[in-house]
C-alpha cells in the first residue's frame, strides 16, 4: 500500500507526516488534526502498522468532517476490516486496473479530473456508510 504525502478529505488537503517518538512522547501511534490538516504517524512503526494507522486516521477525519457519529471502537473495527480488504485484494486498488476500469487515459495524479472522481467516490462512500450506520442503530 502506498501512503501518499498528501490526501484530500472533504475537499481539504491533509499532509501526512512521519513523526519521531509519537508513541513514546504522546502515547499514540497516530493522530490527525482537522485544524492543522495533518495526519501524523509514528515513524518507527513497521510498514504494515503505518498503513493501518493511515486508514485509521482517515476514518477519524471522515467521522469528524462528515459528522458520521462513529464511536472509537467502530473506527478501530472499520480500520481492521478496510486494511484487510486492501491487503487481501491488491488488484482491486491497482492504479493501472483502476484507470482501465474508469476509462482514464491519463496517469492518475493531482489533476482536476481525478479530484472530481475522488469527490464523487467519497460522497458515494459517505452516503452508503451513513445508511449502514443508521441500519446498525436500528
pLDDT tens digits for 48-89?
999 999 999 999 999 999 999 999 999 999 999 999 999 998
Which has the closest alpha carbon to 59: 36, 91, 87, 81? Answer: 81
Distance CA 41, CA 57 (A): 9
Burial class (CB in 10 A: 0-12, 13-18, 19+), 62: buried
The pLDDT value given to residue 19: 95
The pLDDT value given to residue 122: 74
pLDDT tens digits for 25-53?
989 999 999 999 999 999 999 999 999 99
pTM of the model: 0.69
129 contacts: CB under 8 Å, gap ≥ 6:
62, 68
> Any idea where the domains of the chain sit in the sequence?
6-137
Helix (H) or strand (E) holding 78: helix 72-88
The pLDDT value given to residue 96: 59
Amino acid at each position: 500500500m502506498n501512503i501518499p504525502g498528501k490526501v484530500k478529505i472533504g475537499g481539504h488537503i491533509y499532509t501526512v507526516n512521519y513523526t519521531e517518538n509519537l508513541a513514546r512522547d504522546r502515547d499514540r501511534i497516530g493522530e490527525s488534526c482537522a485544524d492543522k490538516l495533518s495526519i501524523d504517524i509514528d515513524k518507527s512503526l513497521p510498514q504494515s502498522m503505518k498503513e493501518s494507522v493511515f486508514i485509521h486516521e482517515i476514518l477519524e477525519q471522515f467521522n469528524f468532517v462528515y459528522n458520521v457519529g462513529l464511536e472509537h471502537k467502530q473506527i478501530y473495527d472499520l480500520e481492521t476490516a478496510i486494511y484487510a480488504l486492501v491487503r487481501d485484494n491488491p488488484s482491486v486498488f491497482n492504479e493501472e486496473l483502476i484507470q482501465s476500469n474508469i476509462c482514464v487515459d491519463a496517469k492518475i495524479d493531482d489533476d482536476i479530473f481525478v479530484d472530481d472522481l475522488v469527490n464523487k467516490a467519497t460522497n458515494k462512500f459517505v452516503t452508503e456508510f451513513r445508511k449502514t450506520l443508521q441500519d446498525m442503530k436500528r
